[in-house]
Structure 1
C-alpha cells in the first residue's frame, strides 16, 4: 500500500520518534504534535493542540524566537536554533529546533529535541567567561550589575534581580541594584530584603521565599517565589543575589546548582570592580580631602575649556594659596593641619555650584574651575565669598583658628585659550595678591 494512502500508519510511526514533531499554523497555533512532546514539555498532545506555542517560550527568549520564526516563514530552513520554554511543572527546558516552512500546507514543520542536560556544562563555562569579561570591562558597579543581570537571565529564567552588597565585613547590607526582566525598577520591601540577606549571608545557605516575604503586601503575587543566594568571596561576605521567579514557576535543582556556581563568579567580579574603583579613585582624588587631585584637575580644566569654546562662553580659574599655613603645622602639629585642610576643602565646595570643580593641587594650594560665567565680576564674587568663608572660625584641636588665603583669578578667553596660560595668569595674580598682604 503506498505511504501516501496510509496517513494513520505514518502518524503512528511519528509517535515512536524520540524527538517532538510539531506542525504550526501561520498564526502560531499547534495543529499537530506527536507523543514525544510530553517528556519534553510536560503536556500531552491533546493539551497542546490548538494552543499558541509561543506562549510557552520564556520571556527572555521571545524576541529572538520571533526573529527565528520570521526567517523560517520567509523560506529559510533553520537547523540547530536553541531557545527555552516553560514546562507544565514550571521548570524551564532548553530545546533545539530544526524547522522549515511548507508553503503548500501553510504550516511550519519543526522537530524539537531536549538539550537541557547537554548545555549545562556549557552554561557553566559560558557564565564564568561572561562574568569575568563583565568585571574586566565595567567601569564601576553601576555598569557591572545590568550586565550580570543579562548573563543570569540567559542561564536561568528570572522575572527580576536584586543585588545586595555588604558595607564592610557584612556590617550592613545595601540594595545596590533592582530591575525586572524588562529593565524597570523592581519593588521590594527594603527592610525585609535586608533581613533575609543577613540571614542568608550568616548561614551561607540559599533560601527560597514566597513573594510576600520580600514584597509589600499590596503588590505581593500568589505563587511567586524568590531565591536568595549568598555572595561569598573566599569566605568573606560580599552580599546576596535576590532572584524573582516568573509567576507559577519555581527554581529547579539545576537552577540552584547553576546559580550557586555563578554566585561565586559574581562575588569575585564585584570585589574586583570595587578594587578597580578604589585604585581609580586613589589615582584621581586627593586622599586627605577627597577633592580631585592635580591629574583630575587637568582633565576637568581641559573639558571645561572645550565646552567654553564650543559655547563661545566664559570660564574662570581661581588659584588659592593659604597664608601662613606652615604656622599651623609648626604650632599645633601636622594632624591639626590635616584637619584644617579637610575643613577648608569642604568650605570651598560650599562656595561654588555643583557643576564647578574644587581641586587640591598639593600642600596648601587649591584651585577652583568656574564654568559658564558672565564675566570677571562673577569670579570676583566667588573669590569674595571664599575670603569671607575662610575668615569664619575653625574649631581644630581645641583651638579656634582663622584662615586667610591669597587668590588669583584668570578668565577664559581673555587670559588665554589653554590650561597652561590660565594657570600662569592665575598663579601670577595669586602671588601679587599675597605680596599686597
Structure 2
C-alpha cells in the first residue's frame, strides 16, 4: 500500500457509519472515529482518553466486563449487544464486532447502532404483551399493573399514572398512580391538582405534553413544555377516535425521553387505550351477568356462588351462618295501583334498605320479582339472625313516598341456620323458602 493512501486511511474510517474504537487493557479509549458523535452524541475529543464503561448503561456493566475478558483472552466476538447512555440522556443499543491485538495490547471494536431495530422489536413485543395483558387481567386494577411492567421494560420509567374520563373530560378519575422512586415512601406520582391540570391540558389539546423536572416545578407548570428530550411525558389515550384518558410517565433520575422513546410510547399508548376499553367492556359484561340491572344487587347466579362459598367457609371455620328468604307482601297491589315504574322504584328503595340492615361482608341478592335473599356469615347464633330480621321489618315499615303516595312495606321472612337446618346450599335454601311461605300463608308450625 502506497504512503499517500495510508495517510488517507483515517479519513476513510471517519466515513464509516459504524463507530470504530481502540481501547487499551485498562479500558481507556485510545481512538474512536467520527461516527461516535452520530451514535453517542459525543465528539472524538470528548470520548478519547475516557473509560469506555463511563458511557455504558449501568445495568450492562457486569456482562460487558465479562465479554471484554473473553475478547482480551483472544476470542474474536461478533454479535454481542449492550446499551450506552447518549449525551442527551437516551439509551443507544449497540451490536459489537471485536477482537484483541496482543502485539498492541488493544481491543479493536466496531460498534453498530441497532437502536432502530430494537425499537421495531420493542413495538412488536409491546403489542403482544399489552394484548396478552388485556386478556389475562382479571380486572382493570391488575391490567394497569401489567401495563406498568410492560412500559418499564421499554423505557426508563420511574413512575406511571393512568387517568380515565369515561368519554367526559369533566369526570376525570385516577384509578392508578405509582411512584417507584417516591421520597419518604410517597407512592403518589403527582399531587392530584397537578395531575389534573396536566391531564386537562392534554385532553383539551389532544396532543402529548413534554416537560422537564424544572418546568413541572416552575410556577408556569404546564405552559413550560420541554423541547427535545423530556423527563415527563403525558400522552392522550385514544380508542376508536375518542379520548378516554391520559397516561402520565416519569423518567428515571438522570434519564430523558428521546424521540425514539416517544415514538414507542405513542404506539404503546394506543394499544393501552384499546386494552382499557376491552377491560371496561369485559367488566360491564361480567357485571351484567352477575348483578340485577334494576337494583344493582347480586342476581340469582352470583347469589348461588356466594352461598356455596359462604357455606364452605363456615364449614372450614366451624362457624354458624344464616340464610334469610324475603318476599315483599302485597307488592302486586303497588304495581296494579301505582304502575310498574313506581314498583321498580319501590324495589330499588327496598334493596337499599336491606343493604342498610346488614354488614358489608354480608350478601343481599335479588332472586327476581319481589324476592330477596340475605346471607349472614360469622354469626354467634340464632339471636343475631333474629336481630337482623327485626331491623329489616322496621326499615321496610318506615314511610316511603313514591309519586306522592306514602307506602309502608311489610315482608314475609324465612330463616334457615347452618348447621341446624342443613349442611348443603339447597337444604338451607329450601328450608328458608318453606319458612317464608308458612309465614306468608299462616302461622309457622
SS in structure 1 of the partner of residue 237 of structure 2: strand
1:61-104 Cα distance to aligned partner (Å, 9 max, x none): x3xx478579879999997565544322212222346899xxxx
Instruction: Measure how far apart 1:180 and its partner are.
Output: 2.7
Indicate yes or no: 2:125 matched with 1:126: yes
Structure 1 residues 110 and 165: CA distance shift in structure 2, 3 A: farther
Indicate yes or no: 2:206 matched with 1:204: yes
Structure 1 residues 314 and 272: CA distance shift in structure 2, 3 A: same
- Bigger Rg, which one: 2
CA contact (8 A) 2:55 2:85 kept: no
Q: Which residue is 1:156 aligned to?
A: 155
Structure 1 residues 24 and 260: CA distance shift in structure 2, 3 A: farther
How do residues 236-251 of structure 1 correspond to structure 2 at under 5 angstroms?
Answer: 236-251=242-257
Instruction: Measure how far apart 1:385 and its partner are.
Output: 1.0
- Gapped regions of structure 2 (runs ≥ 5): 1-12, 100-106, 220-225
CA contact (8 A) 2:28 2:49 kept: no
Q: Greater shift after overlay, 279-288 or 115-124?
A: 115-124
CA contact (8 A) 2:98 2:110 kept: yes
Instruction: Measure how far apart 1:230 and its partner are.
Output: 0.8
Instruction: Measure how far apart 1:42 and its partner are.
Output: 3.9
Q: Which residue is 1:432 aligned to?
A: 438
1:35 corresponds, among 32, 35, 40, to: 32
What is the distance in 2 between the residues matched to 1:424 and 1:216? 68
Structure 1 residues 212 and 39: CA distance shift in structure 2, 3 A: closer
Indicate yes or no: 2:315 matched with 1:316: no
What is the distance in 2 between the residues matched to 1:309 and 1:109? 73
CA contact (8 A) 1:98 1:110 kept: yes
What is the distance in 2 between the residues matched to 1:406 and 1:116? 73
How do residues 191-340 of structure 1 correspond to structure 2 at under 5 angstroms?
Answer: 191-211=193-213, 225-340=231-346
Instruction: Measure how far apart 1:110 and its partner are.
Output: 8.9
What is the distance in 2 between the residues matched to 1:392 and 1:272? 43
Q: Greater shift after overlay, 288-297 or 198-207?
A: 198-207
Q: Greater shift after overlay, 324-333 or 131-140?
A: 131-140
Structure 1 residues 19 and 318: CA distance shift in structure 2, 3 A: farther
- Gapped regions of structure 1 (runs ≥ 5): 1-13, 101-107
CA contact (8 A) 1:22 1:111 kept: no
1:49 corresponds, among 48, 51, 61, to: 51
1:248-275 Cα distance to aligned partner (Å, 9 max, x none): 4332222222222221111111111101
Structure 1 residues 186 and 86: CA distance shift in structure 2, 3 A: farther
Instruction: Measure how far apart 1:33 and its partner are.
Output: 7.2
What is the distance in 2 between the residues matched to 1:22 and 1:308? 72
Q: Which residue is 1:173 aligned to?
A: 172
Q: Which residue is 2:9 aligned to?
A: none
Q: Which residue is 1:6 aligned to?
A: none
- The TM-score with structure 1 as length reference comes to 0.82
CA contact (8 A) 1:230 1:263 kept: yes
SS in structure 1 of the partner of residue 253 of structure 2: coil
CA contact (8 A) 1:188 1:214 kept: no
What is the distance in 2 between the residues matched to 1:374 and 1:324? 33
CA contact (8 A) 1:321 1:405 kept: yes
Instruction: Measure how far apart 1:205 and its partner are.
Output: 1.0
Q: How many residues align?
A: 405
Indicate yes or no: 2:141 matched with 1:142: yes
Indicate the RMSD between aligned Cα atoms, in angstroms: 3.5
Instruction: Measure how far apart 1:436 and its partner are.
Output: 3.0
How do residues 349-364 of structure 1 correspond to structure 2 at under 5 angstroms?
Answer: 349-364=355-370
What is the distance in 1 between the residues matched to 2:140 and 2:252? 26
CA contact (8 A) 1:189 1:216 kept: no
- The TM-score with structure 2 as length reference comes to 0.80
Instruction: Measure how far apart 1:344 and its partner are.
Output: 0.8
What is the distance in 2 between the residues matched to 1:391 and 1:81? 79
2:401 corresponds, among 388, 395, 399, to: 395
